[in-house]
Structure 1
Protein backbone atom coordinates (compact mmCIF):
# COMPACT_ATOMS: atom_id res chain seq x y z
CA UNK A 1 0.00 0.00 0.00
CA UNK A 2 2.94 2.30 0.69
CA UNK A 3 4.04 2.11 -2.96
CA UNK A 4 0.57 3.13 -4.10
CA UNK A 5 0.37 6.06 -1.69
CA UNK A 6 3.86 7.27 -2.54
CA UNK A 7 3.26 6.91 -6.29
CA UNK A 8 0.06 8.96 -6.09
CA UNK A 9 0.84 11.55 -3.43
CA UNK A 10 4.61 11.88 -3.07
CA UNK A 11 6.52 11.03 -6.25
CA UNK A 12 9.60 12.94 -5.03
CA UNK A 13 9.77 10.77 -1.92
CA UNK A 14 9.35 7.65 -4.01
CA UNK A 15 12.12 8.85 -6.32
CA UNK A 16 14.40 9.43 -3.33
CA UNK A 17 13.72 5.90 -2.07
CA UNK A 18 14.51 4.49 -5.50
CA UNK A 19 17.71 6.52 -5.53
CA UNK A 20 18.81 4.98 -2.22
CA UNK A 21 18.61 1.50 -3.73
CA UNK A 22 19.73 2.40 -7.21
CA UNK A 23 23.14 1.50 -8.58
CA UNK A 24 23.02 4.55 -10.84
CA UNK A 25 25.45 7.30 -9.93
CA UNK A 26 22.93 10.01 -10.91
CA UNK A 27 19.58 11.02 -9.48
CA UNK A 28 16.77 8.62 -10.30
CA UNK A 29 13.93 10.56 -11.85
CA UNK A 30 10.52 8.96 -11.86
CA UNK A 31 8.42 9.58 -14.92
CA UNK A 32 4.68 8.98 -15.07
CA UNK A 33 5.14 5.41 -16.26
CA UNK A 34 7.42 4.63 -13.31
CA UNK A 35 4.89 6.06 -10.87
CA UNK A 36 2.16 4.03 -12.56
CA UNK A 37 4.31 0.89 -12.28
CA UNK A 38 4.92 1.50 -8.57
CA UNK A 39 1.20 1.98 -8.02
CA UNK A 40 0.37 -1.15 -10.00
CA UNK A 41 2.84 -3.33 -8.10
CA UNK A 42 1.68 -1.86 -4.81
CA UNK A 43 -1.93 -2.68 -5.64
CA UNK A 44 -1.03 -6.24 -6.64
CA UNK A 45 0.86 -6.69 -3.39
CA UNK A 46 -2.06 -5.38 -1.35
CA UNK A 47 -4.47 -7.73 -3.15
CA UNK A 48 -2.23 -10.74 -2.53
CA UNK A 49 -1.70 -9.72 1.09
CA UNK A 50 -5.42 -9.49 1.72
CA UNK A 51 -5.99 -12.85 0.03
CA UNK A 52 -3.30 -14.53 2.14
CA UNK A 53 -4.62 -12.88 5.30
CA UNK A 54 -8.10 -14.21 4.57
CA UNK A 55 -6.75 -17.70 3.91
CA UNK A 56 -4.82 -17.55 7.18
CA UNK A 57 -8.06 -16.78 8.97
CA UNK A 58 -9.61 -19.94 7.53
CA UNK A 59 -11.84 -18.22 4.96
CA UNK A 60 -12.82 -20.40 1.99
CA UNK A 61 -10.43 -20.11 -0.96
CA UNK A 62 -13.02 -18.71 -3.40
CA UNK A 63 -14.20 -16.11 -0.89
CA UNK A 64 -10.61 -15.11 -0.01
CA UNK A 65 -9.80 -14.78 -3.72
CA UNK A 66 -12.82 -12.56 -4.34
CA UNK A 67 -12.02 -10.32 -1.36
CA UNK A 68 -8.40 -9.97 -2.47
CA UNK A 69 -9.42 -9.29 -6.06
CA UNK A 70 -11.88 -6.60 -4.99
CA UNK A 71 -9.25 -4.90 -2.83
CA UNK A 72 -6.78 -5.05 -5.75
CA UNK A 73 -9.43 -3.67 -8.12
CA UNK A 74 -10.30 -0.72 -5.89
CA UNK A 75 -6.70 0.22 -5.05
CA UNK A 76 -5.35 -0.29 -8.58
CA UNK A 77 -8.22 1.50 -10.31
CA UNK A 78 -8.10 4.45 -7.90
CA UNK A 79 -4.32 4.78 -8.30
CA UNK A 80 -4.58 4.46 -12.09
CA UNK A 81 -7.18 7.21 -12.29
CA UNK A 82 -5.25 9.46 -9.87
CA UNK A 83 -2.09 9.05 -11.98
CA UNK A 84 -3.87 9.74 -15.29
CA UNK A 85 -3.97 6.15 -16.56
CA UNK A 86 -7.75 5.84 -16.78
CA UNK A 87 -7.44 3.17 -19.48
CA UNK A 88 -5.98 0.80 -16.88
CA UNK A 89 -8.92 1.37 -14.56
CA UNK A 90 -11.21 0.50 -17.46
CA UNK A 91 -9.22 -2.62 -18.34
CA UNK A 92 -9.43 -3.66 -14.67
CA UNK A 93 -13.21 -3.94 -15.04
CA UNK A 94 -12.78 -6.53 -17.79
CA UNK A 95 -10.16 -8.46 -15.83
CA UNK A 96 -12.29 -8.52 -12.67
CA UNK A 97 -15.33 -9.66 -14.66
CA UNK A 98 -13.34 -12.52 -16.25
CA UNK A 99 -11.95 -13.49 -12.85
CA UNK A 100 -15.40 -13.63 -11.27
CA UNK A 101 -16.89 -15.59 -14.18
CA UNK A 102 -14.06 -18.13 -14.28
CA UNK A 103 -13.77 -18.59 -10.51
CA UNK A 104 -15.17 -21.96 -9.44
CA UNK A 105 -18.04 -21.15 -7.08
CA UNK A 106 -18.19 -24.49 -5.33
CA UNK A 107 -19.12 -24.76 -1.70
CA UNK A 108 -16.58 -26.48 0.50
CA UNK A 109 -17.53 -30.00 1.54
Structure 2
Protein backbone atom coordinates (compact mmCIF):
# COMPACT_ATOMS: atom_id res chain seq x y z
CA UNK A 1 0.00 0.00 0.00
CA UNK A 2 2.98 2.29 0.55
CA UNK A 3 3.96 1.90 -3.12
CA UNK A 4 0.36 2.63 -4.17
CA UNK A 5 0.38 5.83 -2.12
CA UNK A 6 3.74 6.74 -3.64
CA UNK A 7 2.26 6.38 -7.12
CA UNK A 8 -0.66 8.64 -6.21
CA UNK A 9 1.72 11.21 -4.71
CA UNK A 10 3.95 11.12 -7.80
CA UNK A 11 0.97 11.53 -10.13
CA UNK A 12 -0.19 14.49 -8.04
CA UNK A 13 3.23 16.08 -8.39
CA UNK A 14 3.10 15.61 -12.18
CA UNK A 15 -0.31 17.29 -12.32
CA UNK A 16 0.84 20.11 -10.06
CA UNK A 17 3.70 20.65 -12.50
CA UNK A 18 1.11 21.59 -15.09
CA UNK A 19 0.67 24.85 -13.25
CA UNK A 20 3.90 26.26 -14.64
CA UNK A 21 5.03 26.43 -18.28
CA UNK A 22 8.51 25.20 -17.34
CA UNK A 23 7.14 21.96 -15.84
CA UNK A 24 4.04 21.19 -17.88
CA UNK A 25 5.51 18.70 -20.37
CA UNK A 26 4.25 15.55 -18.65
CA UNK A 27 0.76 16.98 -18.20
CA UNK A 28 0.61 18.06 -21.82
CA UNK A 29 1.66 14.56 -22.90
CA UNK A 30 -0.97 12.92 -20.66
CA UNK A 31 -3.81 15.18 -21.79
CA UNK A 32 -2.91 14.68 -25.45
CA UNK A 33 -2.72 10.91 -24.98
CA UNK A 34 -5.88 10.46 -22.90
CA UNK A 35 -7.93 12.91 -24.94
CA UNK A 36 -6.70 11.82 -28.35
CA UNK A 37 -5.61 15.40 -28.98
CA UNK A 38 -3.31 16.44 -31.77
CA UNK A 39 0.07 17.76 -30.64
CA UNK A 40 -0.31 21.42 -29.75
CA UNK A 41 -4.09 21.18 -29.32
CA UNK A 42 -3.99 21.45 -25.54
CA UNK A 43 -3.97 25.03 -24.31
CA UNK A 44 -2.86 25.10 -20.69
CA UNK A 45 -2.77 28.89 -20.94
CA UNK A 46 -6.56 29.12 -21.31
CA UNK A 47 -8.03 31.11 -18.40
CA UNK A 48 -8.16 28.95 -15.31
CA UNK A 49 -6.65 25.86 -16.94
CA UNK A 50 -3.22 25.99 -15.28
CA UNK A 51 -4.87 26.75 -11.95
CA UNK A 52 -7.29 23.82 -12.33
CA UNK A 53 -4.59 21.32 -13.29
CA UNK A 54 -2.24 22.50 -10.54
CA UNK A 55 -5.03 22.43 -7.96
CA UNK A 56 -6.02 18.92 -9.05
CA UNK A 57 -2.38 17.92 -8.62
CA UNK A 58 -2.20 19.39 -5.14
CA UNK A 59 -5.40 17.60 -4.11
CA UNK A 60 -4.18 14.29 -5.58
CA UNK A 61 -0.79 14.63 -3.90
CA UNK A 62 -2.52 15.49 -0.62
CA UNK A 63 -4.87 12.51 -0.96
CA UNK A 64 -1.97 10.10 -1.43
CA UNK A 65 0.04 11.63 1.40
CA UNK A 66 -2.95 11.59 3.76
CA UNK A 67 -3.58 7.90 3.12
CA UNK A 68 0.14 7.12 3.47
CA UNK A 69 0.39 8.89 6.82
CA UNK A 70 -2.84 7.30 8.08
CA UNK A 71 -1.90 3.74 7.10
CA UNK A 72 -0.89 2.79 10.67
CA UNK A 73 -4.23 4.07 12.00
CA UNK A 74 -6.13 2.34 9.19
CA UNK A 75 -4.37 -0.94 9.94
CA UNK A 76 -5.11 -0.55 13.66
CA UNK A 77 -8.79 0.27 13.05
CA UNK A 78 -9.19 -2.79 10.84
CA UNK A 79 -12.03 -3.63 8.48
CA UNK A 80 -14.26 -0.59 9.13
CA UNK A 81 -11.44 1.78 8.15
CA UNK A 82 -10.49 -0.29 5.10
CA UNK A 83 -14.14 -0.43 4.00
CA UNK A 84 -14.41 3.36 4.34
CA UNK A 85 -11.27 3.91 2.31
CA UNK A 86 -12.46 1.42 -0.30
CA UNK A 87 -15.85 3.15 -0.54
CA UNK A 88 -14.09 6.50 -1.03
CA UNK A 89 -12.00 4.98 -3.84
CA UNK A 90 -15.13 3.52 -5.46
CA UNK A 91 -16.93 6.88 -5.35
CA UNK A 92 -13.90 8.58 -6.92
CA UNK A 93 -13.71 5.88 -9.60
CA UNK A 94 -17.37 6.22 -10.63
CA UNK A 95 -17.42 10.03 -10.67
CA UNK A 96 -14.02 10.42 -12.35
CA UNK A 97 -14.88 7.78 -14.95
CA UNK A 98 -18.26 9.29 -15.77
CA UNK A 99 -16.77 12.76 -16.13
CA UNK A 100 -13.86 11.41 -18.18
CA UNK A 101 -16.32 9.96 -20.70
CA UNK A 102 -18.56 13.04 -20.65
CA UNK A 103 -15.65 15.39 -21.36
CA UNK A 104 -14.08 13.35 -24.16
CA UNK A 105 -11.27 11.77 -22.14
CA UNK A 106 -12.64 8.23 -21.93
CA UNK A 107 -9.13 6.74 -22.10
CA UNK A 108 -8.58 8.16 -18.61
CA UNK A 109 -10.59 5.17 -17.38
CA UNK A 110 -7.62 2.92 -18.25
CA UNK A 111 -5.15 4.40 -15.73
CA UNK A 112 -8.01 4.86 -13.24
CA UNK A 113 -8.77 1.15 -13.51
CA UNK A 114 -5.10 0.27 -13.09
CA UNK A 115 -4.97 2.42 -9.95
CA UNK A 116 -8.14 0.85 -8.55
CA UNK A 117 -6.91 -2.68 -9.28
CA UNK A 118 -3.51 -1.90 -7.75
CA UNK A 119 -5.38 -0.90 -4.59
CA UNK A 120 -7.97 -3.68 -4.55
CA UNK A 121 -5.73 -6.69 -5.23
CA UNK A 122 -3.62 -6.40 -2.07
CA UNK A 123 -6.54 -5.20 0.06
CA UNK A 124 -8.77 -8.09 -0.99
CA UNK A 125 -5.93 -10.62 -0.76
CA UNK A 126 -5.08 -9.47 2.77
CA UNK A 127 -8.61 -9.96 4.05
CA UNK A 128 -8.55 -6.41 5.41
CA UNK A 129 -12.19 -5.83 4.46
CA UNK A 130 -13.44 -8.81 6.48
CA UNK A 131 -14.49 -8.25 10.10
CA UNK A 132 -12.06 -9.58 12.68
CA UNK A 133 -12.92 -12.96 14.13
CA UNK A 134 -13.73 -12.98 17.82
Q: Which has the higher contact order (CA 8 A, sep 6+)?
A: 2
